[in-house]
Structure 1
């Protein structure tokens, strides 16, 4: 499935880097591959995308040529879920194993769907730890291994440079929200965590994580051996637990000012203990209903009145969660738009293809107004050659 979108806006500021070239866009565009493994460990999202930049306005547009979610084998999925508990050597083995599995599966997928060989691959990898307050973040998925197997330039470790310059290293997607999807007032991603992206009153792009979404919902149903609450059916049968909801809403994160971001360790340490306690006295359906109310509250409180909101991520396909969002904003004239399924599930992989391309071209790929970094940077480790073959 292909989808073309364009948006004219201010150009991305270019920072030339030695050995790389900000040359004009080829007539048929730059072909990039994006790889994204989310905190929910649902599978590997892969997007083949053609990007074009107008030589006069420098506005970007794209065509998504193909998208898929490649399911993880059960053993690898289990390793990824427990990665934060591994010792150093086992984590390094997983770093390589993920890249080897990914390279093999992606190459087979590219052959099946017959997409063009990419100029560059942008790989987010899989987040194990995210500690920007301590000056570090960890996404596994060795870029050198991907490059060696795929034979094309690979950009990985896209968050670390922003963290090193004082930023959160997240969210990174808002640059694309501004440049590729700027015709929407707000972009909402309902992934493992929910995050919002929008322009503030001065026209500066701001974004932040607001709270847990699919990661909490999936974590709850895993207690009974399920992967997910499909369509939010179990949550729809439950009743909201006021005390549990208040305990989550009272977490200090919710009164912090942006920029701010979340990692799975925050959920495990701050959110999950309240859920565990509630499960001892209440039904799973009631705790799920409360988790949906919590997620919708965290999102709705920060969405401006009258906004047109683009909603992507797996949570956009959860009718119970979407109904809760609409109910929470009934008096605020908010329009929630869920696009075609390819964009719902493939937006983050598409964006990391573009962020990898920007790094390859030597252009900034993180917004300091969003992350809090001291400067705009072109982040990511580049494995292989740049556009000039250097």
Structure 2
């Protein structure tokens, strides 16, 4: 197989911004390899954050217009990135930005029109990775476990702490993965209400105290009792979590501290419930891996039989964009990139729609 030169684009539920990762990806001697050559993060303006956050409430025609204009914007940013670094690329693999995720209703939607993206960038584009899996009866999420298996399979567990926390691991020679629950989504919601983008290193949370009533309500959320496969989206957060935050009258520091203890309670419970040996390794990526207080709290809750491995900052921040680059390569090769053992679909699939510029 050739060495693919591909850009992965990722915009997550934490609404931080757009991640671009230019990767070389290859298959050699039965295993997959990658090299992250160039990266860039583009922070969303307050206006864009609000527009993305509120897009679930848009009428259909306005949502589709935004789908197209956001796709053009993604293409323009990709073109700038390519020209800035004088890159030669085979394709762009774009996750888009999830606005609607209701797999029980057969619906998942990521804005960022592939055709508009291709036209604006002048490059081949692979996007819309979730729809086919949902059409096959699956959750359409999480998708990153294919990368966990092919790139990071030497760890017992792979934990992503993005807007949402999700985990993946091998069980009976199948990859199992699901959304555990909250991560940065709750923390960023609290800080943004107070005019801050995020709590750097968890310093504010560290100075706070647990609000036991709020913690109890969060830990009692019905989602945590559901069987796997399962996944959540922004709608769930708005409907189930925001009312708990809004009804809790306490300081930002205490709300953040409580949020972190809740995240760690749920993550530790799930990881420990799947440990099959005395010593286990947990590979942590996503923005939450940069929250020192969160990681320290998680280590305490996991105990001695789980060793937490936090990798270098570049991979923490750009793992998801890199995995979407891999998913694009697999789609171009017509190889499986979405695992039914993860999503609950009728079958594995090679998902994603390919667009050519015109």
Q: TM-score range by the shorter chain?
A: over 0.9
Does residue 34 in structure 1 map to residue 34 in structure 2? Answer: no
Conserved in 1, the CA contact under 8 Å of 2:73 and 2:117? no
Task: Find the counterpart in structure 2 of residue 306 from structure 1.
Answer: 279
Q: Partners of 1:384 and 1:91 in 2: how far apart? A: 23
Task: Find the counterpart in structure 2 of residue 348 from structure 1.
Answer: 320
Q: Partners of 1:103 and 1:357 in 2: how far apart? A: 19
Q: Partners of 2:80 and 2:128 in 1: how far apart? A: 24
Match of 1:212 among 182, 186, 189: 182
Shift in Å, 1:77? 2.6
Conserved in 1, the CA contact under 8 Å of 2:92 and 2:123? yes
SS of the equivalent of 1:261 reads: coil
Match of 1:73 among 21, 32, 45: 45
Q: Partners of 2:8 and 2:111 in 1: how far apart? A: 15
Does residue 255 in structure 1 map to residue 225 in structure 2? Answer: yes
Q: Partners of 1:97 and 1:357 in 2: how far apart? A: 26
Shift in Å, 1:119? 1.4
Q: Partners of 1:239 and 1:203 in 2: how far apart? A: 42
Shift in Å, 1:113? 2.1
Structure 1's consecutive aligned runs of 4 or more residues displaced over 3 angstroms after TM superposition are none
Matches within 5 A, 1:259-298: 259-278=229-248, 280=249, 282-298=250-266
Root-mean-square deviation (Å) = 1.3
Task: Find the counterpart in structure 2 of residue 196 from structure 1.
Answer: 167
Residues 41-94 of structure 1 deviation map (CA, whole Å, 9 limit, x = unaligned): 11100011111112xx43211111111111223332321121112122221221
Conserved in 2, the CA contact under 8 Å of 1:66 and 1:115? no
Residues 135-161 of structure 1 deviation map (CA, whole Å, 9 limit, x = unaligned): 110100000011112222211110000
Task: Find the counterpart in structure 2 of residue 18 from structure 1.
Answer: none
Q: Partners of 2:50 and 2:247 in 1: how far apart? A: 25
Q: Partners of 2:164 and 2:23 in 1: how far apart? A: 25
Shift in Å, 1:35? 0.5
Shift in Å, 1:216? 0.5
Shift in Å, 1:365? 0.9
Residue correspondences, number: 352
Residues 205-243 of structure 1 deviation map (CA, whole Å, 9 limit, x = unaligned): 101111111010000112212211121111111111222
SS of the equivalent of 2:247 reads: helix
Matches within 5 A, 1:7-46: 25-26=1-2, 29-46=3-20
Task: Find the counterpart in structure 1 of residue 86 from structure 2.
Answer: 114
Conserved in 2, the CA contact under 8 Å of 1:65 and 1:115? no
Conserved in 1, the CA contact under 8 Å of 2:141 and 2:343? yes
SS of the equivalent of 2:13 reads: coil
Match of 1:134 among 100, 105, 111: 105
Q: Partners of 2:180 and 2:37 in 1: how far apart? A: 31
Conserved in 1, the CA contact under 8 Å of 2:12 and 2:162? yes
Q: Unaligned regions of 5+ residues in structure 1, if any? A: 1-24, 386-390
Does residue 91 in structure 1 map to residue 59 in structure 2? Answer: no
